[in-house]
């Protein structure tokens, strides 16, 4: 008699896990959308990069973010923009 109840409780638990996973996925997608909006609105690279870093903090926590440019022919690496969290 208790087996069917236990089976239903198990299904309920899995459904809650699925809902939580979907909620977290949607939060990440919303965060990425905000990042893209920041990139599109920014005209000044340094200020825009700091805004990008600030908004990305919720998706990918970090202490520092650096945008580099790789020169394949000259074998160079140039820092284009950088930001640090306070």
In the structure, what pLDDT confidence band is assigned to residue 51 with cuts at 50, 70 and 90? confident
Residues 6+ apart with CB under 8 A from 79: 66, 67, 68
Q: What is the CA radius of gyration of the chain?
A: 21
Average of per-residue pLDDT across 35-52: 68
Query: Is the per-residue pLDDT at 43 higher than 60?
Result: no
pLDDT over 80 at 39, yes or no: no
The pair of structure tokens assigned to 39 is: 């990139």
pTM, entire model: 0.46
Question: What is residue 6's predicted lDDT score, i.e. its pLDDT?
Answer: 75
How many domains are contained in the chain?
Answer: 1
For 3-31, how does the pLDDT look when each residue is reduced to its tens digit (9 = 90+)? 877 777 787 788 888 888 898 888 888 88
CA dist 55 to 23, 40, 63, 70, 80, Å? 19, 14, 13, 25, 19
Q: Identify the domain containing residue 24 by its residue range.
A: 2-84
């Amino acid at each position: 008699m208790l087996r069917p109840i236990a089976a239903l409780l198990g299904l309920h638990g899995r459904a809650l896990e699925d809902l939580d996973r979907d909620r977290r996925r949607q939060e990440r997608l919303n965060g990425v959308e905000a990042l893209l909006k920041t990139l599109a609105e920014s005209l000044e690279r340094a200020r825009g990069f700091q805004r990008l870093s600030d908004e990305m903090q919720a998706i990918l926590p970090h202490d520092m973010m650096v945008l580099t440019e790789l020169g394949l022919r000259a074998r160079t690496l140039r820092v284009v923009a950088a930001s640090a969290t306070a």
